[in-house]
Amino acid sequence: MSRCNDIRTDGLCKFFINTGDCPSGTNCRFTHPPLDQLKKVRTEWVKQRIKQRRLKQQRPEDPHNPSEKLKKNARSQVFADWVLSTFPEALNVVDVAGGKGLVGLIVEKASSKAQSQKSETESETLFPRVTATLIDPRPRDVSKQMRRVAPSSTEGIKLNAHLQEWFQDPPSETVDRLLKREKTVIIGLHPDQATEPIVDIGLARGIPWAVVPCCVFPELYPNRIWPGDGGGEVNSTEKLIDWLKAKNGDIKEAYLPFEGRNRVLYWTAETSTQSSL
């Protein structure tokens, strides 16, 4: 059986759809549309593939229609809006492993806008009610999205604070001082290796937090044991979420309306029911 025949299951030949050619030629048991219709067929085929992938990724508990979810480039906005609505008393947001820091910029802008709507004069100088600090070891590049969000002046755009270091447990002295500020919330949108430190530091110090887990890195954490039936290593995002939730009985979860990994775990620090993990 040819390579082409090994991988096709939906009636259309993937090789022909993508290239207009097929290694099996006329012996291919899948459909080769006419070349003059190839562009139209390819467009529809891609749409169907995306739809199938969305349906496959959709969890039964996710209330959002997969065909209506926002693209991945909207997830920073969605997460920032969710953080502000979920933690309305927050004054100090610590954005961990936030890359370029778009979430924090949106948080500060939204907070400033909310404050300006309450002000009596438009000319009043307003500072963000919520201060967001990015903690990420990578240098910070300015993206087009950031330029649209960040305030600007004659000196250029103004970015929020950035601590260029790893977020670790225990934290550095600089991060420790940051975490001690009034009404702090620690957040992480797909924060990779920093996911567990966010949870552990927040639980240990009574600081509210929210994370959207993504990558798992099982080779870095071989001692994690899945709390579900049969145990075994934590080698998927779903198992990582189960493992994190087992740390405290009051950890909540929600789903955000964007594509990809969209389950957010959060803890409001209102109660404490910590486990032995």
Annotate 56-102 with three-state secondary structure: HHCCCCCCCCHHHCECHHHHHHHHHHHHHHHCCCCCEEEEECCCCCH
Q: Give the lowest-confidence range in 56-60, 138-142, 216-220, 246-250.
A: 56-60
Cα 203 from Cα 208, distance rounded (Å): 8
Q: What is the pLDDT of residue 181?
A: 96
- Please name the residue that has the structure tokens 């002295």: 173
Lowest model confidence (mean pLDDT) among 15-24, 49-58, 122-131, 266-275: 122-131
Percent of the chain with pLDDT over 90: 60
Please state which CATH number belongs to domain 72-267.
3.40.50
pLDDT, one tens digit per residue, over 158-189 is: 899 999 999 999 999 999 999 999 999 999 99
User: Domain segments of the chain: what residues?
Assistant: 3-57, 72-267
Q: Could you tell me the pLDDT band of residue 271, with boundaries at 50, 70 and 90? A: low
- Tell me what percent of the residues of the chain surpass a pLDDT of 70: 87
> What average pLDDT does range 229-244 have in this prediction?
95
Centre a 10 Å sphere on the Cβ of residue 144 and count the other Cβ atoms it contains: 7
pLDDT band with cut points at 50, 70 and 90 for residue 4: very low
Task: Give the tens place of pLDDT for each residue, 90-146.
Answer: 999 999 999 999 999 999 999 877 665 655 555 444 556 899 999 999 999 899 999
Whether 276 shows a pLDDT value over 70: the answer reads no
- Average pLDDT on 55-79 reads 89
Q: How confident is the model at residue 272 (pLDDT cuts 50, 70, 90)?
A: very low
Say whether pLDDT at 19 is over 80. yes
pLDDT band at 226 (very low <50, low <70, confident <90, very high): very high
Residues in the chain: 277
Residue 275: pLDDT band by 50, 70, 90 thresholds?
very low
